[in-house]
Structure 1
Amino acid sequence: MGVPVRTVSRLVAIYLSVLLVIVIVAGATSNKIMWDHVHEAVLNIQSFNPYLYSELERNATSEGLTVEEYYYKLIAGSNSNTMNLEEFMFSGSDGEYYYRLLKESGGIRTDNLLLMGIDLLRKSFDYYRENPKYDFAHVIKVTLAVMGLAMVLTLLLGLFLGFRLANGRFLGTVEGLARFFNGLPSWWIGAVLIAVFAVELGVFPIAGLRSTPPKEGFGDFIDILWHLILPVSTLVFVYVWEFVVTVAHEVRNELGKPYVLTERAKGLPEGLIYRKHVLRNVSIVLSSFTVQKFVEMFTDYIVIDVLFGLGGLGTLLRASFVRTIVPAIGVVVRFDYRLFFVVTLSIATITFLFSLLLELTKGLLDPRVS
């Protein structure tokens, strides 16, 4: 087995780059929220303790700082190890956390976004470990099940139809279908399938992962598969045409090579030539193509997961933007940054591991890879 060292190194470098971006964005988010808390605290002091605010303003002016910067410097330089919400005017469940950030930063500004991002990610994972609001193990299983089924079916159909159409006259039609479905949003296809097969015909369930009440034993397994037919079919319907075209062109290219003509001249059966030579070489190209399409399919899966209410990573990503209807204001969207960064990091890690698996499979198929 050859190990594609360069490709694996490139994948690791890409993953580390994505991870670095996530950490820096998390650090910038943490920094922004912290300064929002400082600003809120200063406004509360200005409203409820004007005398203290005037003292802060006078001291800040003498040092050439804004009131917020001076207040931050005052808190960060304090020797107190206790948290007094009333004294420092921090509000919300994160007040103590951001007070600790102020204490540990020890300066007017927090410039080290990398350390703040790592701290925020660590605290986010710890938060959901201590407060199991979401079953992340179940969420990951649902995501892997849907993506795994969709990818396997797409590969099998792509290989089967690609071999059939390699020398057929309908390849041009399939190329047109590939371009057509490339231009359609996946949610639109999912909505059409729901309207036809779930609403109009009533053959499949509209959404969800299980029936109510849930079945038991093997019946529960069949029920889950029945609920997954429409979402998996949506993903397959979007991507299978490109796989068919790729396989067909590669098969046509392989069949014209000298080694195939030599094998045919020896009198070997067509089936043996296809299995022994053509399929293997096509699979090498297809594994590289699958890495790219997996990333695209994962993006569409997030939308499909929300559309069909499967409860995977797409549902959690949507849940990170909490919408609350306030009668006097309207719809207020609150950003659950902890959940957002946990889901984003999970998506990046799953994509990296799957891409790595495909590249190792490519090395297994092609001993020349090193």
Structure 2
Amino acid sequence: MGRAVTRTLLNYLLLILLVALISGIGIKDYQFYRADMEFSLLPSAERTVIEANASSMGMDPYDYYMNFVAPKDYPTLVMNPLHAGLYTLHHALFRPDYDYPIPRKLMVARTLVLIPLAEITIILIGFPLAKLALRKRRLRSTVRFLARVFNGLPVWAVAALFSLLIIMSALPNYLINGLGTSTSPTRTLAYMAFPLVSIVLVALWEFVEALVILLRDEFGKEYVRAKRAMGLPERRIERHVLRAVMPSFLGFLFQHFVEVSTLALVVDAFFGLFGLGKMLQWGFRISGDLYTLDPDVFFYPIAVFMVVNFFVLLAVTVLSELLTPGGGGVEA
């Protein structure tokens, strides 16, 4: 198990470095864009001082400004992309310079409640549905069809349909007007109902289809036929099969968790749940030819999800190793 955990740690470290490198390239480009714009708008008095200092050092005023003046406001300008990315992610997570209209912890809590709620709901519905689909071919075909339909249907389209339903029905309009700073548990859970249903409706069918394929392959193996020939009860055979597929299922479940997290960000921004999806909207804004990127706001959700996904992946790896035959688990 130690080898598997070490491999997971190394893989995730490489992922962090890759994300940091891409983030660093983006933030350096943006800060160069901002510094270049500010240089072109410098008041004449400041420009005169910069030109005098640059001349005394034998430098072009623009190069002097980018190397010695702009880094005071944009420190990543003088860093390499990897360093800039790691600096930005660390700064966004631990030392953000941003006045949030809603407490940051509340925004994180809302997102981290919605995602497990959606995943647990999908599991609770998906397992019985997959077992039923194994016995009924028509249901299996229906699940496959719905998986294809919702794979091609963006979650915001489903959210839009639910929004129209709320507007045209007697349901309270506050369900789509934005949750704001409300800390009422009842109001928060009521507001999460339609975002939750939107995620489940889109993500359920792919989950069930993958589970059906996994279980069908396992039920077709020789040891299952041998256990049936021995006259073991079907329920006991099912328990053996579930134990056998659990390591593979946990690997799939982690991938599905990441997909559900992405869907949660979209419906959060669409319904105005004011979670991490809304934070991403605040962090990156485009207006005509101008765009604004606030690193502490935009990269904070990325940093949070990297931390959360790391612990989820670590838990999945440990459980998979424990449940794998020969790894401390139970033989199928």
TM-score category of the 2 structures, normalised to the smaller one: 0.7 to 0.9
RMSD of aligned alpha carbons: 3.5
Per-residue deviation at 1:305?
Answer: 0.8
Task: Tell me what 1:135 maps to.
Answer: 103
Question: d(CA) in 1 for partners of 2:247 and 2:48?
Answer: 74
Question: d(CA) in 2 for partners of 1:239 and 1:4?
Answer: 33
Task: Tell me what 1:283 maps to.
Answer: 246
Change (3 A) 1:49 1:134: closer
TM-score (norm 1): 0.74
Q: Assess if the C-alpha contact under 8 Å between 1:38 and 1:71 holds in 2.
A: no
SS at match of 1:193: helix
Q: Assess if the C-alpha contact under 8 Å between 2:8 and 2:317 holds in 1.
A: no
Q: Assess if the C-alpha contact under 8 Å between 1:301 and 1:314 holds in 2.
A: yes
Question: d(CA) in 2 for partners of 1:154 and 1:232?
Answer: 10
Q: Does 1:195 align with 2:164?
A: yes
Change (3 A) 1:343 1:240: same
Task: Tell me what 1:37 maps to.
Answer: 35
Q: Which amino acid aligns with 1:294?
A: F
Q: Which amino acid aligns with 1:295?
A: V
Change (3 A) 1:26 1:366: closer
Question: d(CA) in 2 for partners of 1:26 and 1:271?
Answer: 50
Alignment of 1:153-192 (within 5 A): 153-170=121-138, 171-192=140-161
Task: Tell me what 2:199 maps to.
Answer: 235
Q: Assess if the C-alpha contact under 8 Å between 2:284 and 2:291 holds in 1.
A: yes
Q: Does 1:296 align with 2:282?
A: no
Task: Tell me what 1:23 maps to.
Answer: 20
Task: Tell me what 1:350 maps to.
Answer: 308
Question: d(CA) in 1 for partners of 2:214 and 2:46?
Answer: 76
Q: Does 1:68 align with 2:62?
A: yes
Per-residue deviation at 1:37?
Answer: 3.4
SS at match of 1:334: strand
Question: d(CA) in 2 for partners of 1:306 and 1:113?
Answer: 29
Task: Tell me what 1:146 maps to.
Answer: 114
Change (3 A) 1:172 1:39: closer
Question: d(CA) in 2 for partners of 1:189 and 1:181?
Answer: 9
Percent identity between matched residues is 27
Task: Tell me what 1:79 maps to.
Answer: none
Q: Assess if the C-alpha contact under 8 Å between 2:250 and 2:320 holds in 1.
A: yes
Per-residue deviation at 1:43?
Answer: 5.2
Per-residue deviation at 1:30?
Answer: 4.7
SS at match of 1:149: helix
Per-residue deviation at 1:278?
Answer: 1.9
Task: Tell me what 1:341 maps to.
Answer: 299
Question: d(CA) in 2 for partners of 1:125 and 1:252?
Answer: 44
Change (3 A) 1:121 1:359: closer
Q: Which amino acid aligns with 1:284?
A: P
Q: How many residues align?
A: 325
Task: Tell me what 2:284 maps to.
Answer: 321
Q: Structure 2: 5+ residue runs without aligned partners?
A: none
Q: Assess if the C-alpha contact under 8 Å between 1:22 and 1:345 holds in 2.
A: no
SS at match of 2:176: coil
